[in-house]
Amino acid sequence: MKRSLNGMRVLVTGGCGFIGTNFVHHVMQKFKDVFVINLDALTYAGRRKNLAEWEGNERYQFVKGDICDESLVRDLIQACDCVLHLAAESHVDRSIVDARPFVQTNVLGTQVLLDAMREVDPPGDKRFVYVSTDEVYGELSLEAREKRFTEDMCLRPNSPYAASKAGADLMVQAYHRTYGMDTVVTRCGNNYGPYQYPEKLIPLFITNLLQNKPVPLYGDGKHVRDWVHVDDHVEALCCVTENGEAGEVYNVGAACERSNLELTKIILRAMGKPESMIEYVKDRAGHDRRYAIDARKIRENLGWKASVSDFTDKLDALIAWYTTHYG
Ligand SMILES: NC(=O)c1ccc[n+]([C@@H]2O[C@H](COP(=O)([O-])OP(=O)(O)OC[C@H]3O[C@@H](n4cnc5c(N)ncnc54)[C@H](O)[C@@H]3O)[C@@H](O)[C@H]2O)c1
């Protein structure tokens, strides 16, 4: 069924995080009749001021709260037409130190949202979009470069973060099958863009270099990630919300594979810094070698296409953004 976000009341979870912020700005600007309810617990990764320009706007409501709060979630779901679920603990390194908050928010929090969705009458009346990740597939080898993740592959997550995302991903699909809920799952590659908390590679390296600090690169630096600009990701989220088929999973990718070392050198060059700023550090435990996404399904079935395929196109703008906000 084709629907439009325009005129909808959209519950966004995690709207003060990196992708959530970009998503809220995008829909508020693009759809003049959308109403956004942003539910965010404001953990270390969430910043309310990211969306300060919408505070006071009659089409925007911020709710500080936890997705594990059953009665709050039930009330908000009754008040909306669809849910974009982005709230998560999202950093792999933190999940290696302590998996508990990852299971709590990513698995149990998703179950709380799904159970509140079950009370919707009829059950397929409101769409639930779950923002999963390509990390649920596990890893690909560096050698078989023709291999890419497709939606029908088994999930073989390796980090506690990825395992918690995979648990929720499967719960969403189970609720579709069991209760007839209108769900869509997306699995996107690594995003880059403004508003990301500076702990993951790109914002961490840029902000370190702004302060003339070295950049800590894991292991041999040959780990490959498939990068997507956040603008393309949020457009894909709109696309699946409006046109995705209920019960389906869609990969999101821009065919932009780079090793961490290549990426680091690109950032160093763009910021006029020498390669001696690279500090090779002990590899992350269980570090996946390569992610690569086959995004044919969303392209061919829904007509979505990445507009930014070359990482370097947006790099100067990104460095300028972090210079303004963290420099
Ligand atoms: N960043 C990426 O490259 C990437 C790639 C693919 C998928 N994803 C997924 O996209 C989603 C958003 O990722 P991100 O990078 O914007 O994450 P982020 O860490 O920047 O933001 C997460 C947001 O969720 C909020 N939050 C955390 N726990 C909460 C809770 N219990 N209740 C309510 N709010 C809570 C935080 O305050 C924060 O605002 C996540 O589900 C992540 O798994 C991210």
- For the stretch 7-49, pLDDT in tens is 999 999 999 999 999 999 999 999 999 999 999 999 999 999 9
- Whether 65 maps to a domain, the answer reads yes
- Report how far ligand 1's centroid is from the alpha carbon of 60 (Å): 20
Determine, yes or no, domain membership for 235: yes
Flag whether 29 is in a domain. Answer: yes
Number of domains in the chain: 1
What's the 90 CA to ligand 1 centre distance in angstroms? Answer: 5
What is the reported pLDDT for 1?
A: 62
Task: Give the number of other CB atoms < 10 A from CB of residue 32.
Answer: 9
The Cα–Cα gap between 254 and 261 comes to 19
User: What CATH number corresponds to the domain at position 55?
Assistant: 3.40.50.720
CA-nearest residue for atom 32, ligand 1, is 66
Q: Which residues on adjacent β-strands are paired with residue 128?
A: 83, 183
Ligand 1 contact, 237 CB (< 6 A): no
**Tens digit of each residue's pLDDT (9 = 90 or more) over 121-130:** 887 899 999 9
Q: Is residue 94 part of a domain?
A: yes
Residues of the chain with pLDDT under 50: none
Whether 165 is in a domain gets the answer yes
Please say if 135 is a catalytic residue.
yes
Would you call 137 a catalytic residue per the annotation? no
- Domain assignment present for residue 320? The answer is no
- 134 catalytic? Reply is yes
Q: Regarding beta strands 60-64 and 190-192, do their DSSP bridges make them parallel or antiparallel, or are they unpaired?
A: unpaired
19 CB near ligand 1 (under 6 Å): yes
Answer yes or no: is 100 within a domain: yes
Spell 278-294 as b/e; 16+ CB within 10 A means b: beeeeeeeeebebbbbb
Cα dist. 79→25, 75, 203 in Å?
A: 21, 6, 36
Q: Calculate the CA 74 to chain-centre distance.
A: 24
pLDDT of residue 272: 97
- Closest CA to ligand 1's atom 1: 191
Q: What pLDDT score was predicted for residue 124? A: 83
- Residue 51 in any domain: the answer is yes
Q: What is the rounded CA–CA span in Å between residue 165 and residue 107? A: 7
Domain range enclosing 27? 9-195+227-257+292-307
Ligand 1 mutation pick, 12, 16, 18, max ligand atoms within 8 A of CB: 18
Closest ligand 1 atom, residue 20 Cα: 16
Q: Answer yes or no: is the C-beta of 252 below 6 A from any ligand 1 atom.
A: no
SS3 content of the chain, % helix, strand, coil (to 5): 45, 20, 40
Q: Using the structure block, give the residue that is written with the tokens 């969705």.
A: 117
